[in-house]
């Protein structure tokens, strides 16, 4: 039997657990509250006002001005997430972290003969209640737990009752509960897919379960029949325990800009910073990627995603930036942008492999990258950054190491400078 | 609301079960006794591993303290201040 443990409003709840002033009042976790951005998490006290994760901060302030806006702290949440995993591992060795606030856990069957499904569910419920109690006692946090014969059923069951809910469903119970619901309630069906299904007359999970496999395959390809199986509660996806190494499929960073911007130096500087962060993570994890993608979101919240495959894998900041900049220039209409993102995918591990081919032929470039990484390993990520990422006029340099960096005197110089090797600007 | 700070503070601490535990600290001329450590986590900065503590005092005000082993030094990084609403 599989459990999905989902921490209730995790980031906001952690802040409430750590700070008594925040308990029982609306709390909204975000980036810097003094700047704009989006809601990262909203406490259950903030949700009746309509505040949701992902909502622009300005809208949240309009809906719930009395909330406490708290700057999120990823280090704190990851540390707690690790402690929670340690707790889960005392119950079962088969734990799969699914996100920072969710984990799957497989309960082994007792005895040589597997019990029937009902008995297995009951046994899992006892374990789940014990876990909820321990999470409350040790961390003062709430968790909702879904239980089912597969990851799909457990995941969907976890959302049935919140907060501090506990829902156990076998396949018949899954079908009774979910079949009357909107097709978008099925895990894996987003708004666009749901709209396409509705155009075929499939509006509920039950209708999807009874739809023709040929019809679904014709319209949605291989995923069509898989979704039909999922709608019936059938899912064979294996649980991948955390003691087995799973390599990431992509690495990316994105940022909501402090204000909508159409400034070329500023946007290029931001892309350079994001590219450098992604490439640095690739190098730290001894990986390289072959596909570079950019994400552009304008002030109307229209999002463009574009990607390009390279001829060979890379983990060089400059190479990632060059491709990201090209994609941005090709797909930007010149209007103000709200958000920028850079992602590298099609990753491969460099453990045991030849690294030299992964760098440009330029030996000096490789040496420079290695030297910069050594400085960052020793002194921290902010100790040295590409000058182009912080030297834009009036830009939002969140941290300027070693004192003040003077503003660039001629913004139109920046594209040219960005093409050269990154160097610190001289005062 | 929280006020972000970077104030060096003197901290009296103990080592309990191999873990650093702040007991009281002096800030703005006041001695603040730690009633409860509500959370602890770490952050790497290069080779240094900074330790952070969420703490609550007897008046149920909350603070965040950071122990930086490079000094070694203690920094008060956040404090709850009552706002006017």
**Helices of type H across B1-85:** none
pLDDT (tens digit, 9 = 90+) per residue, A276-299? Answer: 999 999 998 889 999 999 999 988
Locate CATH 1.10.150.20 in chain A.
179-231
Q: What's the pLDDT tens digit per position in A301-345?
A: 888 999 999 988 998 898 999 999 999 999 999 999 988 999 999
| CATH number listed for the domain at residues A250-419 | 3.30.1490.100
A102 catalytic? Reply is yes
Confidence of residue A426 (pLDDT cuts 50, 70, 90): very low
Catalytic residue among A102, A236, A302, A312: A102
Cα angle: A345, vertex A350, A352; to 5 degrees: 155
Higher confidence at residue B1 or residue B26? B26
Domain topology for A179-231: DNA polymerase; domain 1 (1.10.150)
A167-196 mean pLDDT? 92
Report CB contact under 8 Å: B62, A18.
yes
Q: What is the pTM of this model?
A: 0.75
pLDDT band at residue A397, thresholds of 50, 70 and 90?
Answer: very low
pLDDT at B15: 87
Inter-chain touch A377–B46, beta carbons under 8 Å: yes
CB contact burial A353-385 (16+ within 10 A = b; e otherwise): eeeeebbeeeeebbeebeebeeebeeebbeebb
- Range A208-214 average pLDDT: 91
CATH number of A1-178: 3.30.70.270
β partners of residue B11: B25
Q: Where in chain A is the domain with CATH 3.30.1490.100?
A: 250-419
For residue A115, what pLDDT is reported?
59
Q: Calculate what percentage of chain A has a pLDDT beyond 90.
A: 50
Residue contact B40–A18, C-beta within 8 A: no
Q: Is the pLDDT of residue B22 over 90?
A: yes
Query: Which residues in B lie closer than 8 A to residue A68 (C-beta atoms)?
Result: 1
Residue A208: its pLDDT value, please?
A: 93
Taking residues A417-427, report their average pLDDT: 35
SS3 A188: coil
> Rounded mean pLDDT of chain A?
84
Residues of chain A whose beta carbon is less than 8 angstroms from a beta carbon of chain B are 14, 17-21, 66, 68-71, 73, 75-76, 78-80, 140, 376-380, 383
What is the pLDDT at residue A114? 56
Q: Which of A20, A25, A374, A377 to mutate to test the interface with B (most CBs of B within 10 A)?
A: A20
Contact A26, A43 (CB under 8 A): yes
Contacts of A401 in chain B (CB under 8 A): none
Query: Domain spans of chain B?
Result: 2-80
pLDDT at B25 exceeding the cut of 50:
yes
Question: In the prediction, which pLDDT does B80 show?
Answer: 84
CB contact under 8 A, A75 and B41: yes
């Amino acid at each position: 039997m599989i459990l999905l443990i989902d921490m209730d409003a995790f980031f906001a709840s952690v802040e409430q657990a750590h700070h008594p002033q925040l308990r029982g009042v609306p709390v909204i976790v975000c980036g810097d509250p003094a700047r704009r951005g989006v809601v990262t998490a909203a406490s259950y006290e903030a949700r009746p006002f309509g505040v949701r994760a992902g909502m622009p901060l300005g809208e949240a302030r309009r809906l719930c001005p009395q909330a406490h806006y708290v700057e999120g702290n990823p280090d704190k949440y990851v540390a707690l997430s690790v402690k929670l995993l340690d707790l889960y591992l005392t119950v079962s060795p088969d734990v799969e972290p699914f996100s920072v606030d969710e984990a799957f856990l497989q309960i082994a069957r007792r005895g040589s003969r597997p019990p029937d499904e009902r008995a297995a569910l009951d046994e899992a419920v006892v374990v789940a209640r014990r876990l909820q109690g321990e999470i409350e006692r040790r961390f003062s946090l709430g968790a909702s737990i879904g239980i089912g014969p597969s990851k799909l059923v457990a995941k969907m069951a976890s959302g049935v009752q919140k907060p501090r809910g506990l829902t156990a469903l076998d396949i018949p119970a899954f079908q009774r509960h979910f079949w009357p619901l909107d097709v978008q309630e099925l895990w894996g069906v987003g708004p666009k897919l749901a709209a396409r299904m509705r155009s075929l007359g499939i509006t509920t999970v039950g209708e999807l379960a009874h739809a023709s496999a040929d019809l679904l395959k014709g319209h949605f390809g291989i995923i069509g029949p898989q979704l039909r199986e999922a709608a019936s509660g059938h899912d064979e996806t294996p649980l991948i325990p955390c003691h087995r190494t799973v390599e990431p499929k992509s690495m990316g960073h994105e940022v909501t800009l402090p204000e909508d911007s159409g400034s070329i130096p500023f946007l290029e500087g931001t892309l350079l910073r994001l590219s450098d962060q992604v490439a640095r993570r690739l190098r730290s994890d001894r990986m390289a990627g072959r596909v570079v993608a950019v994400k552009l979101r304008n002030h109307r919240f229209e999002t463009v995603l574009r990607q390009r495959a390279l001829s060979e894998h890379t983990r060089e900041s400059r190479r990632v930036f060059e491709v990201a900049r090209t994609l941005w220039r090709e797909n930007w209409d010149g209007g103000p942008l709200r958000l920028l993102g850079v992602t590298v995918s099609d990753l491969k591990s460099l453990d045991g492999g030849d690294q030299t081919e992964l760098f440009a032929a330029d030996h000096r470039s490789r040496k420079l990258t290695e030297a910069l990484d050594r400085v960052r390993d020793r002194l921290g990520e902010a100790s040295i950054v590409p000058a182009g990422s912080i030297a834009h006029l009036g830009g939002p340099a969140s941290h300027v190491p070693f004192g003040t960096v003077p503003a660039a005197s001629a913004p139109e110089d920046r594209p040219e400078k960005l093409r050269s090797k990154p160097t610190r600007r001289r005062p | 609301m929280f006020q972000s700070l970077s104030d060096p503070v003197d901290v009296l601490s103990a080592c309990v079960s191999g873990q650093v535990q702040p007991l009281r600290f002096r800030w703005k001329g006041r001695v603040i006794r730690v009633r409860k450590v509500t959370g602890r986590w770490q952050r790497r900065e290069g080779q240094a591993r900074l330790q952070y503590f969420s703490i609550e005092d007897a008046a149920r005000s909350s603070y965040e303290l950071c122990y930086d082993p490079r000094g070694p030094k203690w920094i008060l990084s956040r404090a709850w201040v009552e706002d006017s609403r």
